[in-house]
Amino acid sequence: MSILFFALIALIGLGFFSYNVWKIRYNINLGLPTDRSGQIGKRLKTMILVAFGQQKMFSRPIPALLHLCLYVAFVITQVELFEIFADGLTGEHRLFSSGLGGFYTFAISFIEILSVAAFFATIIFLARRNLLKLPRLNMKEMIGWPTKDANLILIFELILLACIFTMNGADEVLFQRGESHASMGTGDSFGFSVSSFLGPLLFDGLSTGNLHIVERIGWWGHLFMVLGFLNYLPYSKHFHILLAFPNTYYSNLEKKGKFNNMPSVTQEVKLMMDPNADPYATAPETTPPSRFGAKDVTDLSWKNLMDAYTCTECGRCTSSCPANITGKLLSPRKIMMDTRDRLAEVGESKRKNGIDHEDGKSLLGDYITEEELWACTSCNACVDECPVNIDPLSIIIDLRRFLVMEESKIPNELAGMLTNIENNGAPWQFSQNDRLNWANEE
């Protein structure tokens, strides 16, 4: 009975999660193609250093260490999760313990120590957000859902950890009384590093019957939290725990200063400069109708869109942005959050109303304003800072391109600068013939 119930819960949990992951995949695939194939060795190396190794986190050591506690605990705890699934599907209790023997005690002990570290790290994270009110975690774009989301994730983690210790602690007391269902022989204690002390401290006063109930609450609680958390991920910034890996794998491996040359423009410019081109020729039919630059998320590349779903809103980009530091409206983090929110909206509407459906809104204008875009100095600080190699700058430039090339919306001074370049080959009004005058001036 309980096996069947377990299987049903697990199936629903995993099924719903898969459906939501499919939706995100669908959304990311709404982006334009960009080539991130090849150089597999270099890509793997980047992923291992930046995602697995968290290399870029360590430019800020305190949050990096706290985050490392959570990260390692999260990864290692999956071992215990395997056992919960194995137990759940077989009806056994602590299935791995008999086969692994001493190593089992070591593994669970290790998990427990990491879990304690993770517990305190989570408390400190909550304090940084809510008591210390760290500036980068309390900016304008964080008001409302983003702050709730961040706190919910941390609270989920605390409950999850509490379930682990409830489960192991109650089982420890049961084992001491010779009443545990675990097939670990008999003895004074399981010998787990934390719960062998914490268990008796918390649960010694309970009757054996109640202990069995408490142990099951911990066990099922853990399972429900894991499945609940898993299904929460696609709705949350916390999805970064999954996308950090592919996102760093598909990193831009070129120099950061290199902006892409738009091939559609190259084609036009070549035609303009070709003295043999027929100005009255009809456009070749193979030319796809395309926009210059980006107005909406579907004009961005799939990598830009994957970036958006990978962002966990840590705000390192914004806290290093020269425009933001000096009080301008631009926040690279908001650019990423807007892109994700708009993409979720577009994806939902396209799935509902068909792929060609337009809802009359767009990323540019409805989410991101011109003032934000024109504040960017293209300095690449945000790109350099991002611990998961997100590139907000390429979105900013693509939106600028649309403003300038499709809508001729550009600050007056820049319009003048462009005219100068076109007329006399310099951003200022100097004649090209005077370009060498400096050589003869004193």
Partner 1 sequence: MNLHVPTMAEMKAKGENPEILFWVGCSGSFDDRAKKITKAVVKILNSCKVSFAVLGTEESCSGDPAKRAGNEFTYQMQAMMNIEVLNGYDVKKIVTACPHCFNTLKNEYPELGGDYEVVHHTQLIQDLINTGKLVLENSQSFKGKKITFHDPCYLGRANDVYEAPRKLIEKLDAELVEMKRCKSKGLCCGAGGAQMFKEAEKGNKEINIERTEDAIETAAEIIATGCPFCNTMMTDGIKNAEKEGQVKVLDVAELIANAAEL
Q: Does 384 bind partner 1 (CB under 8 A)?
A: yes
Residue among 318, 328, 315, 418 nearest 373 (CA): 328
* Cβ neighbours, 10 Å, residue 151: 14
Q: Of 256, 351, 357, 361, which lies in the binding site for partner 1, with binding defined by CB under 8 A?
A: 256
- H-only helix segments in 91-207: 95-100, 102-130, 145-176, 195-203
Where in 142-181 is the site for partner 1 (CB under 8 A)?
Answer: none
Q: Which of 177, 270, 357, 361 binds partner 1 (CB under 8 A)?
A: 270
Which of 75/325 has CB closer to partner 1? 325
Query: Among 268, 348, 358, 359, which residue sits at the site for partner 1 (rule: CB under 8 A)?
Result: 268
The helix, strand and coil proportions of the chain, stated in percent and rounded to the nearest 5, come to: 70, 0, 30
Q: Could you tell me which residues come within 8 angstroms of residue 311 by beta carbon, excluding any fewer than 6 positions away?
A: 237, 240, 333, 336, 337, 340, 388, 390
Interface mask (CB under 8 A) for partner 1, residues 273-312, using x and -?
x------------------xx-------------------
Please state, in angstroms and rounded to a whole number, the distance separating the CA atoms of residues 116 and 431: 70
Q: Decide: is 425 part of the binding site for partner 1 (CB under 8 A).
A: yes
Contact 295, 364 (CB under 8 A): yes
String marking each residue 58-87 x if it binds partner 1 according to CB under 8 A: -x----------------------------
What is d(CA 111, CA 141) in angstroms, rounded to the nearest whole number? 36
CA distance linking residue 50 with residue 390, whole number of Å: 12
Q: Which of 19, 52, 120, 430 binds partner 1 (CB under 8 A)?
A: 430
Over the window 387 to 416, marking each residue x when it contacts partner 1 by CB under 8 A and - when it does not, the resulting string is ----------x--xxxxxx----xx-xx-x
- State the Cα–Cα distance between residues 91 and 436, nearest whole angstrom: 86
Does position 418 interact with partner 1 (CB under 8 A)? The reply is yes
Give residue 349's Cα distance to chain centre. 23
Which whole-number Å values give the CA distances from 86 to 79, 89, 93, 96, 220, in the listed order? 11, 5, 9, 9, 13
Distance, in Å, from the CA atom of 68 to the CA atom of 120, rounded to the nearest integer, reads: 12
- Please choose, out of 142-150, 207-215, 233-241, 379-387, the segment that lies near partner 1 by the rule CB under 8 A: 379-387
Instruction: Considering only the stretches 1-9, 31-39, 79-87, 381-389, report the one whose residues sit in contact with partner 1 under the rule CB under 8 A.
Output: 381-389
111, 376, 388, 395: which one binds partner 1 (CB under 8 A): 376
Residues 315-334: x where in contact with partner 1 by CB under 8 A, - otherwise, as a string: -----x-xx-xxxxxx----
Of the pair 190, 374, the CB lying nearest partner 1 is at: 374
> Which position among 18, 39, 266, 287 is part of the footprint of partner 1 (CB under 8 A)?
266
Give which of 3, 24, 8, 442 is closest to 233, Cα–Cα: 24
Residues whose CB falls within 8 Å of the CB of residue 266, separated by 6 or more in sequence, listed in order: none
Three-state SS string across 289-354, please?
CCCCCCCCHHHCEHHHHHHHHHCCCCCHHHHHCHHHHCCCCCCHHHHHHHHHHHHHHHHHHHHHHC
Pick the piece of the chain touching partner 1 (CB under 8 A) from 17-25, 197-205, 349-357, 375-383: 375-383
- 188: contact with partner 1 by CB under 8 A: no
Q: Output the smallest distance, CB 290 to partner 1, in A.
A: 13
The residues binding partner 1 (CB under 8 A) are: 59, 254-259, 261-262, 265-266, 268-270, 272-273, 292-293, 320, 322-323, 325-330, 371, 374-381, 383-384, 397, 400-405, 410-411, 413-414, 416-418, 421-422, 425-428, 430, 432-439, 441
